[in-house]
Amino acid sequence: MENSKIKTNLFYAIVSQLVVLVISITTSLVLPKVLSIEYFGYWQLFLFYISYIGVTHLGVLDGIYLRLGGKFPEEIDKSLFTQQFIVYGLYFAVVGLAVSFLFNQSHWQLFMMVGINIVIGNLFSYIGYVLQATNQIKLFSQANIFEKILFFGSLVIFFVLEKNNYLDYIYIYTISRLIALCYLAIKTKHYFTYTKIKIVVLKEIYENLLAGFPLLLANFSSMLVLGFARLMVEKNWGIATFSKISFAISLTNLLLLFVSQVSLVLFPALKRANKSHLNLLFTKLNYLISMCMLFGLLFYPIVFFIVVNWLPKYYDSLYYLALLLPMCLYEGKMQMIHTTYFKALRKERSLLMLNFISALISIVGVMCAIQLNSIDGVIYSVVVAVIFRSFLAYFIIVDALVLNVELNEWVSLIVIWLYVFLINQFSMLSAMLLYSFVLVGYMYITRDKLKPIIQRLRRKYE
C-alpha cells in the first residue's frame, strides 16, 4: 500500500513537473524575445526578490512541514489549521505592506508587487506544505499545474499583443498565483472550520518556529550562495549584465525543477522508512542522480543552437551557462538527496552550519572577484561553493548512516572539471565528442553500480 502511494505521488509529481518544465522552457525563451535586455533584467530582479519571500515566515512553515512530515491527512487538526491560516495571513499582510512602502524607490511598482506576493506566496506555501507533509502530492501538483497554465495562457496572449513592459508580466504572474491560492483553498475547504483565535495557536506557532527556524536559516544561507553573487552583479556591473547572467541561471534552473519536485515525494516516505531502507535508497539515488546529471550536460549543444538562432542578443549568456552547468549536478544532488536526508534524519542544525560555511565561501570569493573586476571569478566562486557544500553534505550523511565513501563521488568530480576544461579549450563539436569518451570511461569505472540497474531494466521489459 505504501509503495503504491509513493508511485502514485511520484507519477503526479513527474506529470506536474513535466508541465511546469515545458511552460518554464517556453517562458524562458519567449520573455527574453519580447522584452528588452534591460526590461528582462527587471523581470529577473522581481523573480529574484520574490524567491526570498519565504524568509518572511521566519521558519514557521518549515516547522509545520517537519512536524507534520510522515503523518496522515486525517491527523490534521482543523481548528489549529484554520487559526494558523488566519494569523499567518494577517502577519504576512503587515510584512507585505512594510516591504511595499519601506523599499518604495525608483521602481516602486516592482516592490509593491513583491509585497503582494509575500501574502499570496506564503499562504499558498502554508497549505502546500501541509499537503506535502501529509503525502497529498496529487492535489498540490494539480494546483501547481493550474497556476502555470494560467500564467502561460496569459503570457501567450500578451506575446501576440506584443506587450513589451515587464510590469505587465509581473501583474499576470501575481494574478495567476492569487487564483491558484483560491483554487487550493477551495480544494482543502474540509480542513477549514469556524473557530475563534485561541491562545493555543500561539503555542503551536512557537513550536513550529522552534522546529523550522534552523531550517529557514539553512535555506537562507543556501540561497545566499548564488543570491549574493547575483545581487553584486546587478550592483557592480548593471542591469544588462545581471539580465544576461540571470538568463543563464534560469536555464540551469530548468534542469533543477524536475529534481526539486521528486524530493517533495521522497521526504514523507523517508520519514517513515527504517535505517536499512534509508541506507539502500541513499546509495542508489546518489549514483542515479550523478549519472543522469553528467549525461544531461550533453544537451548543452542543443541549448547553444536554440539561443544562437532565437535569442542572439543573449549569446554572451552561453559562456556563463557553460560555467554554471557543473553546478547543476551538485545542486541537484543537494536538493533531491542531501537536504531531504538531512530533514528525514532531523539534522537541520548540521544543514544550517553547512550552508552557512558555503555561503561564506561564496561571499568571500565574490568580493575578491569584484576587486579584480572579474565576472568569471564571481561565477567560479559560486560553483566551488556549491560543490564544496554537496561534498561535505555527502560525508555527513554517510557518517550518520554508517556507510562507506563511494568511488563514484570522486570520479564524478573529476568528470565535472574535465567537462569545464573541454568546453573552454575546444570547439563545441570536439568538446562534446571528447566528453562522450569521458562518460564511457565513467560508466566503465562505476560498472559495479551500473550493472544492477541494467539487469533490473532488462527483467522489467523482457
Instruction: Walk along the chain (462 residues) and give the pLDDT tens digit of each residue.
Output: 455 555 666 666 667 667 777 787 788 888 998 999 999 999 999 999 998 998 898 888 888 888 877 777 777 888 888 888 899 999 999 999 988 887 656 677 888 999 999 999 999 999 988 888 887 877 888 888 889 889 989 988 988 888 889 999 999 999 999 999 999 999 888 888 887 888 888 888 888 888 888 878 877 888 888 899 998 998 899 889 999 999 988 888 776 765 555 555 555 555 555 556 667 777 777 787 788 778 878 888 888 888 889 989 998 888 888 888 888 778 878 877 788 778 777 787 788 888 889 999 999 999 999 999 999 999 999 999 999 998 898 888 888 887 787 777 888 889 988 988 898 888 888 999 999 999 999 888 888 877 776 666 566 545
Tell whether 260 is covered by a domain. Answer: yes
Same domain, 235 and 192: no
Same domain, 238 and 332: yes
Tell whether 98 is covered by a domain. Answer: yes
Beta carbons within 8 Å of 201's beta carbon, 6+ residues apart: 80, 83, 84, 87
Same domain, 144 and 95: yes
Same domain, 115 and 187: yes
Q: Quickly list H helices, 273-425.
A: 275-296, 300-310, 315-333, 339-344, 348-371, 375-400, 407-425
Give the cell for residue 369: 572577484
Amino acid making up residue 341: Y
**Distance in angstroms (rounded) separating the CA atoms of residues 461 and 356:** 46
Tell whether 392 is covered by a domain. Answer: yes
Q: Which residue, 140, 166, 198, sits at the end of a domain?
A: 198
Same domain, 47 and 68: yes
Residue 404, H or E segment = none
Please tell me the predicted confidence (pLDDT) of residue 255. 67
Same domain, 342 and 229: yes
Same domain, 216 and 182: no
Q: Which residue, 176, 198, 220, sits at the end of a domain?
A: 198
Same domain, 8 and 129: yes
Tell whether 14 is covered by a domain. Answer: yes
Q: Which residue, 166, 198, 230, sits at the end of a domain?
A: 198
Please tell me the predicted confidence (pLDDT) of residue 1. 47
What domain range includes position 144?
Answer: 1-198
The answer to whether 325 and 297 are in contact (CB under 8 A) is: yes
Tell whether 408 is covered by a domain. Answer: yes
Tell whether 203 is covered by a domain. Answer: no
Same domain, 185 and 219: no
For residue 274, count CB atoms less than 10 angstroms from its CB and return exposed for 0-12, middle for 13-18, buried for 19 or more: exposed
The answer to whether 83 and 198 are in contact (CB under 8 A) is: yes
CA nearest neighbour of 415 among 318, 292, 332, 304: 292
Tell whether 205 is covered by a domain. Answer: no
Domain count, the chain: 2
Same domain, 454 and 358: yes
Amino acid making up residue 70: G
Same domain, 175 and 259: no
Same domain, 302 and 425: yes
Tell whether 206 is covered by a domain. Answer: no
Please tell me the predicted confidence (pLDDT) of residue 261. 53
